[in-house]
Structure 1
Amino acid sequence: MNSGTVANVRDEMQAARTLLEALGTDPSPVSVWTGPAEAWVREWAVTFGLTRSKVARDRFGKTAAGALAGRVYSTAIDQDRLQTATAWIGWLFLIDDQLDEGETGRELQLVRERLRPFIAIAGEMTGRTAVRLEDGARSAGPSRELSSCLPLVSALRDIWYRLAGRMTEHWRAVFARHYLGYLSGCEWEAANRGRGRIPPIHEFVPNRRHAGAIWPSLDLLEYVADAPLPDDVRSHPLLLEARTACADVVCWSDDLLTVAKERAHGDVHNLVIVLEHQTGCDEPTALQKVIERIASRIADFDASRQRIFATDFGGHSRDAVDRYVHGLHHWMQGHLDWGLQTIRYDAEAALGLPYLEDLLSAGE
């Protein structure tokens, strides 16, 4: 995409469509198990007490976690793996709403207190305290022990039990580190909200990746495709370049589509708002700058992808690498496709928050 392609695009939705053209002329692929995964995750959320009221269930359904997962994880080899990835997406939606849209997320000490049980789960993820299910076993719902926990904790453990048996020790450690980075990003955002602080661009960019939970979400590409990367390949510089470019495209596209909603909630963790504050420009100018940054990162991804395809990773690694890189592209394209359809980014639909239930401080 050249500068002429993105010139004078002022509307967020128009901008998203323009960026989709840069990612390819074909529609993003959608898993054949998307519909069943959507139906399943709605029941899963009810089972774990994550959506108790009708308005909460309706809101969760309309955000369409399954529709997103079916696009960004379209490489899933079976329905079970897509369902687990959909549960992860749905879980992120729910905890983000607790921290981003309620009053909890404006008090750093309260956020730290509420996140403590979630931080403890990282020990289970690295295997120090894990109790994993036998391979192939799946929990049908919260056990008696888990039901006494916070609903979001019980639900996260269920997701982890579904994942852990399919992951190597190194892979689990990487996921745990990225998961902790997400929680750290949540605390960083709470600290800024509490102080009324808009972070500078050099601080915002790396922390946005953490707070957006994109790193652990990209880790699941290996899981859904049943194509784990060898440990030494997972940290290869070329893959890191492509993964980081993808992360920026997804996070900044999210900012592009949510700027109206986040302004309505008084949230400043958005690249458009950060650039307005740092440069003193108006919103249309900041919006244009964001579009150009996203286009540049798409070009960076394309360049990295070409170098990856030209690199010999060894015969047993080639298929896993190719599946992973295709998955990164699906994440960028599928997220934008979904973003143009979901009500999750609708500023008016989110105002009043009648659907927001307390899932951080009370059990069932």
Structure 2
Amino acid sequence: MTTPDPRAALACPFPAKLHPAVHTARSHVDDWVVSAGIVRKPASLARFANADFAGFAAATYPDTDVTGVLLMADWFAWLFLVDDELDDGITGTRPDHIGAVLADIATTLRAPDDASAVPVGNTGAVRALGDLWARTAPRATPGWRRRFGAHVGECFTAAAWEANNRVHDVVPGEAVYVERRRHTGAIYVCMDLIEPMRDTELPDDVLADPVFRDALDAACDVVCWTNDVFSLEKERRLGEWHNLVAVVGHARGLSDQDALPLACDMIDARTAEYVEHEAALLAEFDTEPVRRYVEGMRTWIRGNLDWSRATHRYREGASDEHTSRYLEPSLMGGSS
């Protein structure tokens, strides 16, 4: 008898939503990645289209304006293409190169607040980021831009940590993996983008309050762990250990098959914890900015689950030969 896939039983208490401009976003982002020069190979373009990052943006930011959903489709394209280079390509085994790219990214994100900020490198990732940032920065305050830039920096610092683990064959423990996963998954970055996409900004007292941090981290964990269970087969075929299922299995002496149901149980339990933390957050800060942010976390949790089930991104076979067909060496300035 075939054992039911536990991923099919993952539940979400929030309703599905989809931006009405989803079809426009799909056409737009397909054109943008080509014009930005970050997708060039025919195999890369086909794989990109199958992933449906515009559909992901429409499901996770369904209430933004049309300009916003087009921008978010482009952000997702950039984030996932960079993630492919970090996870599937040689860049993911070169902590020093990741640091060099991060320096240029950090410089790019200092504009428009620092007129002297000019990146040294000329990689596809940095050039495309310049376009994204020119469209994002005007929608936010200097304080938000600094917070966002810090979170992007933490993503690349965590990516260098993963690269170092790969070089030295280190499998992280569960606790450290969970903490770092919020950074390698760029989920703080994506949650930051709720604010300009919903025309709001959280005040410092909310951002600093433990009740907000508890809700945010719970939402981030649900999103990242959901990504892990759906991307498991792809990542394991590439020999990747940075996945909740693999980490749990390694720590507890279990196969991936036996660890997968445990990871799904963890997602369900963390979702229930998020609901509790959300209620506590709204009880303490029942304000319009917080309500808008909470709605953004809800659509992220639900939209991520729906997209993960629908996308073809994780259904393709993965091998070194296959990745060489779709990785773009010019994106990160290294040979993939």
Fold shared by both chains (TM-score > 0.5): yes
For 2:262, the aligned partner's letter is: K
For 1:298, the aligned partner's letter is: T
For 1:174, the aligned partner's letter is: R
Name the counterpart of 2:93: 106
CA displacement at 1:114 relative to structure 2: 4.0
Counterpart CA distance in 2 for 1:336 and 1:22 is 8
- 1:54-107 per-residue CA deviation (whole Å, 9 max, x = no partner) reads 22211111111100010011121x110111111111101111111111122123
Per the alignment, in what secondary structure is the counterpart of residue 30 of structure 1?
A: coil
CA displacement at 1:285 relative to structure 2: 2.7
CA contact (8 A) 1:122 1:179 kept: no
Are positions 1:357 and 2:328 aligned together? yes
Length-normalised TM-score, structure 2? 0.91
CA displacement at 1:310 relative to structure 2: 2.5
For 1:23, the aligned partner's letter is: P
For 2:28, the aligned partner's letter is: W
CA displacement at 1:308 relative to structure 2: 2.5
CA contact (8 A) 2:99 2:156 kept: no
CA contact (8 A) 1:122 1:180 kept: no
CA contact (8 A) 1:56 1:355 kept: yes
For 1:361, the aligned partner's letter is: G
Name the counterpart of 1:64: 52
Counterpart CA distance in 1 for 2:214 and 2:138 is 28
Counterpart CA distance in 2 for 1:10 and 1:334 is 26
Counterpart CA distance in 1 for 2:116 and 2:215 is 32
Are positions 1:40 and 2:28 aligned together? yes
Name the counterpart of 2:317: 348
- 1:168-195 per-residue CA deviation (whole Å, 9 max, x = no partner) reads 1221111111111111111011001111
Among 286, 292, 303, which residue is 2:259 paired with?
286
Are positions 1:88 and 2:79 aligned together? no
CA displacement at 1:229 relative to structure 2: 2.0
Per the alignment, in what secondary structure is the counterpart of residue 111 of structure 1?
A: helix
Name the counterpart of 2:289: 320
Counterpart CA distance in 1 for 2:285 and 2:222 is 26
Give the alignment's Cα RMSD to 1 decimal. 2.3
Length-normalised TM-score, structure 1? 0.85
Per the alignment, in what secondary structure is the counterpart of residue 310 of structure 1?
A: helix
Per the alignment, in what secondary structure is the counterpart of residue 332 of structure 2?
A: coil
Aligned length: 330
CA contact (8 A) 1:29 1:71 kept: yes
- 1:197-219 per-residue CA deviation (whole Å, 9 max, x = no partner) reads 11111211111110100001100
Gaps of 5+ in 2: none
Q: 1:35 to 1:236 in 2, by over 3 A?
A: farther
Per the alignment, in what secondary structure is the counterpart of residue 310 of structure 2?
A: coil
CA contact (8 A) 2:94 2:160 kept: no
Moved more, 37-46 or 343-352: 343-352
- 1:242-287 per-residue CA deviation (whole Å, 9 max, x = no partner) reads 1100100011111101111111011110011111111112223311
| 1:296-315 equivalence runs, <5 A | 296-313=269-286
CA contact (8 A) 1:264 1:347 kept: no
Counterpart CA distance in 2 for 1:152 and 1:102 is 14
Counterpart CA distance in 2 for 1:122 and 1:186 is 18
Q: 1:130 to 1:210 in 2, by over 3 A?
A: farther
CA displacement at 1:357 relative to structure 2: 1.5
Identity of aligned residues (%): 32
Per the alignment, in what secondary structure is the counterpart of residue 246 of structure 1?
A: helix
- 1:316-335 per-residue CA deviation (whole Å, 9 max, x = no partner) reads xx222111101101111111
Per the alignment, in what secondary structure is the counterpart of residue 340 of structure 1?
A: helix
Are positions 1:128 and 2:114 aligned together? yes
- 1:123-149 per-residue CA deviation (whole Å, 9 max, x = no partner) reads 337x23478xxxxxxxxxxxxx99x92
CA displacement at 1:118 relative to structure 2: 2.1
Gaps of 5+ in 1: 1-8, 132-144
Per the alignment, in what secondary structure is the counterpart of residue 250 of structure 1?
A: helix
Counterpart CA distance in 2 for 1:120 and 1:109 is 17
Are positions 1:31 and 2:19 aligned together? yes
Name the counterpart of 2:62: 74
CA contact (8 A) 1:170 1:231 kept: no
Q: 1:204 to 1:311 in 2, by over 3 A?
A: same
Are positions 1:213 and 2:186 aligned together? yes
Counterpart CA distance in 1 for 2:209 and 2:270 is 19
Name the counterpart of 1:168: 141
Name the counterpart of 1:134: none
- 1:15-46 per-residue CA deviation (whole Å, 9 max, x = no partner) reads 33322x3434x4x1001111111211111111
CA contact (8 A) 1:10 1:287 kept: no
Counterpart CA distance in 2 for 1:98 and 1:312 is 40
CA contact (8 A) 2:99 2:160 kept: yes
Among 41, 46, 49, which residue is 1:53 paired with?
41
